[in-house]
Structure 1
Amino acid sequence: MRREKVNYLINLIKIHGLSVLDKSYTHYSKEYKEHAIKRVLLGNESINAVALDLGLPGNGMLSNWIRSYKENGYNVVIKKKGRRIHEQERVKRIRTPQARKRQVASPEFKAYCRKRIYKKIGCLGSKKKEPTKTEIAQAVTELRHELGLAVKKIIEIINANEDLPHISRSNYYDVYTREDKDQVHHSDVMMRIREIYDEIKNRYVAPGYRRITHILHREGYQINRKTVNRLMRKMDLYGYVMKRRHPYSSYQGDIKGRIKPDLIKRKFFALRPNMKWYTDITEFNLRGKKLYLSPIIDGCGRDIVAYNISRHPNLKQVMSMLDDAFKTNQALNGLIFHTDRGWQYQHKAYQHELAIRGIEQSMSRKGCSPDDGLMEGFFGILKREMFYGQEKKYASLDELEQAIRKYIDYYNTERTKDKLKELTPIEYRNKSLVA
């Protein structure tokens, strides 16, 4: 809000010069206010543009005039200074119904009502699909409260326009008085959806309907995900979506003889654990300070096998990650380990550790991040759900590191996926080992 005020003042000075700031208190007449208000309501000009043109000290002044104009029956009222006496209050109560009648009869109000109704009803539906009677009836109810008009009058205005979807009074009252079936049949599910949504949102970002459907299924609810989606939209609950940002790259050129062929060919899935592993390094930039995460993800259950968090993306980080992975996973002969062409993965020590265990090394093509799409996908999920837009939550890199560790544990043991048959990565891994 402060930035908007500063921008407004800068534009005001550009148009009227610095002298506009030296103006003392100005009294605005009734005619002056009415002219400015009509430019906005009937002339389709923006409040900001009109306020700048008139040299008002702030656009909030014009907004207040418009609000007062509507509240007083579309009449400009110049308030007198001083405290109201009881007689004036009594006269005002008597005149309120009369002012309402004048408001409805004024041509400005009628024009505004038609414009508002046409706009709201015209925005319903889409080019390919006509709006339902329920949607139209809901819009009519909202217009009824906003404009203070009778339902009959609103429907007459709608039906008089051939370009708008029509509705009869009987249709409207049928929808308006119809019992909400969701409140009858899904009240307990809606309550549980709200609890799950708030629980996950408080820990990470708002979950989508698929995640909530998985949790409901695990708790024994027999409900379709389309129904969950509809109920969430009805309760104004939406999942968090954010664009991915550019990933960290450690590529510094090809070391002769160290580049390996792509053995994966974007066929990321593996039938059993420890058949295909993927790794990469991603960067977290927290107010100029950087943290680097180097994990290994399994192609079978999409679980994080091992990971290392460091302040520097050096060889030690990658080698420590390998040590942790090899401690908990034996007999890796024949495993395909896929990476990009980062300098760490071309290093002699790294390639030696893989070779002595019979691990085949695979590399993406030069500058082709989709070749390592499984790892890139995990980084996108991780940062969307616990980092992007939430940087203010972390006071230091130590707090961020702890949050990453907690999230990886949550990702492995609690976060379900459609592709894993609504199981968590660890559950799917264990099931695959038994099978």
Structure 2
Amino acid sequence: MKRVVFTIEQMRKLERNPNVQHVTESAITYTSEFKLAALRAYKEGQTPSEIFIRAGFDLDDIGHKKPKHSLKRWRDTFDLYGEEGLAIERRGKGSVGRKPVGELSAEDELKRAKAKIKLLEAQVGLAKKARSARKAEETLKPSERYELIYRTIRAYGMKRMTRYLCRLVAVSPSGYYRWIAAEEKRQVRMAADEQDILLIKQHFEALNGKAGALVIKMRLEQISGVVMNHKKIRRLMRKAGLVATIRQANPYRKMAKATHEHKTCPNLLQRQFDQGEPEKVFLTDITYLRYGNGQWAYLSCVKDGATRQILAECVGATLELSLVERTLQRLLARLDGNTHPEAILHSDQGMHYTHPKTQLFIARIGMKQSMSRRGNCWDNAPMESFFGHMKDEVDFTDCESIHEVRTRVADYISYYNAERYQWTLKKMTPDEFRGHLLAS
């Protein structure tokens, strides 16, 4: 008779039947009353299947051959031991049709040895697959072990080996059967994940693969109207193999150092970039942009410390002092003479900002000048962050002229101010956050 292996749900269903005394994943212990009643009904002409169905058993669960084999065993036991034989559990005690527990034939020992070999072969293959995404020393997860057992049993048609295989890979049989019973839920969850991955991919590809989980979360909420936990987004991005391009530091790039004859200024900000008021703290710096056939462009920007808006920019072909002068003139034109009485312009100690001409211009427009400590990029972190994001998200290598670089920079700054949501700005764009600050 084909051995039936019960799932957790089937076992619970059988335990609710009053004719069942005990259930395991591979065997049912019936009450002595049911056994005697079944024998009487059989003598009266009822078939084994009819007897079990009327007793509340589902033959699809227990197996259609189970009633016939059970009645035969009970008849043989009744003939040898009478009613007392049916009342006593004789499993493992030489009962008819049952082998004593613990005694394995040579054939069973051979089956176990073959099962162990097949399991080890499957485990090697699955472990290689699992370790491809994790460290080599990590062991298989419980779900991977359950899958290993399931594959081995189905691939080689192994019967009555579930407990043995569970013991080999150090998991509980009950855990394995719970995993089997949850297959439908896993399929539903996987289908839902696939739909979410498609939506995440849309935003990931819209930013040319240069968006992380937090950026995608904000775009999902603001554009698609979907609220999704950032941890889930990271999990689904790992599952779909979506890896955001991360900028790498260039160890060979060196910024121009201030000369000794130029005067530096104290660090007035002390990293207090956001002072809650628009156009009070201005951050500025210069970055290098490589384009075309090894050519260089130089971008000078001014950023609002509170709103994160880029208020002025200038792209030049050289690092002359006029690059910073044009940037500050554009900032002044944007402010239209409305300079905050406590305005601060913060920069690094580059020669453009320590130059007497630049310092005189800043003083004339009514701003205090602040500078980072030498070699400390964290003192001007928001400005460095903007440059980093721009280089992550914009490719200048295919630009053939400085004019194309200027156009691409202007387009990105327009997008950055009006469309790029930021987690630390209450999930708003810089332009939206400026309106929020002015309204509050």
| Range into which the TM-score falls when normalised by the shorter chain | 0.5 to 0.7
CA distance in 1, matches of 2:161, 2:358: 74
CA distance in 1, matches of 2:415, 2:300: 17
Q: 1:368 matched to which residue of 2?
A: 376
Conserved? CA contact 1:124–1:136, under 8 Å: no
TM-score by length of 2: 0.62
Residues 51-70 of structure 1: pairs in structure 2 closer than 5 A: none
**Shift in Å, 1:120:** 4.7
Equivalent residue for 1:424, pick from 401, 426, 429: 429
CA distance in 2, matches of 1:328, 1:124: 51
Amino acid at match of 1:312: T
Residues 124-163 of structure 1: pairs in structure 2 closer than 5 A: 133-137=142-146, 159=166, 161=168
Q: How many residues align?
A: 321
**Shift in Å, 1:268:** 1.5
Q: 1:227 matched to which residue of 2?
A: 232
Amino acid at match of 1:309: V
**Shift in Å, 1:356:** 1.2
1:170 aligns with 2:177: yes
CA distance in 1, matches of 2:163, 2:136: 24
- Structure 2: tracts of 5 or more residues without a match: 1-113
Q: 1:338 matched to which residue of 2?
A: 346
**Shift in Å, 1:293:** 0.5
CA distance in 2, matches of 1:268, 1:292: 24
Deviations 1:137-168 (A, max 9, x none): 56678x77xx9666889988974646x66676
Amino acid at match of 1:377: S
**Shift in Å, 1:223:** 3.2
TM-score by length of 1: 0.63
Q: 2:125 matched to which residue of 1?
A: 116
**Shift in Å, 1:210:** 1.1
User: What SS does structure 2 have at the residue aligned with 1:380?
Assistant: helix
Amino acid at match of 1:318: V
Provide the aligned C-alpha RMSD in A. Answer: 3.9
Equivalent residue for 2:204, pick from 159, 175, 197: 197
Structure 1 residues 130-139 or 376-385, which shifts more? 130-139
Q: 2:70 matched to which residue of 1?
A: none
Conserved? CA contact 1:124–1:131, under 8 Å: no
Conserved? CA contact 1:412–1:426, under 8 Å: yes
CA distance in 2, matches of 1:124, 1:140: 21
1:188–1:117 distance in 2 versus 1, CA, 3 Å: closer
Conserved? CA contact 1:158–1:166, under 8 Å: no
1:269 aligns with 2:274: yes
**Shift in Å, 1:314:** 1.0
Equivalent residue for 2:306, pick from 300, 303, 309: 300
Of structures 1 and 2, the larger Rg is shown by 2
Conserved? CA contact 1:277–1:335, under 8 Å: yes
Q: 2:283 matched to which residue of 1?
A: 278
* Percentage of identical aligned residues: 24
Amino acid at match of 1:324: R
**Shift in Å, 1:128:** 12
CA distance in 2, matches of 1:429, 1:216: 22
**Shift in Å, 1:175:** 4.3
- Structure 1: tracts of 5 or more residues without a match: 1-104
Conserved? CA contact 2:278–2:434, under 8 Å: yes
Q: 2:297 matched to which residue of 1?
A: 291
Conserved? CA contact 1:412–1:425, under 8 Å: yes
Amino acid at match of 1:354: I
Amino acid at match of 1:381: H
Conserved? CA contact 2:352–2:358, under 8 Å: yes
CA distance in 2, matches of 1:214, 1:122: 33
Amino acid at match of 1:115: V
Q: 2:360 matched to which residue of 1?
A: 352
**Shift in Å, 1:305:** 0.7
**Shift in Å, 1:300:** 0.3
Q: 1:218 matched to which residue of 2?
A: 222
**Shift in Å, 1:170:** 2.7
User: What SS does structure 2 have at the residue aligned with 1:291?
Assistant: strand
CA distance in 1, matches of 2:146, 2:401: 52
1:263–1:122 distance in 2 versus 1, CA, 3 Å: closer
Amino acid at match of 1:277: F
Q: 1:206 matched to which residue of 2?
A: 210
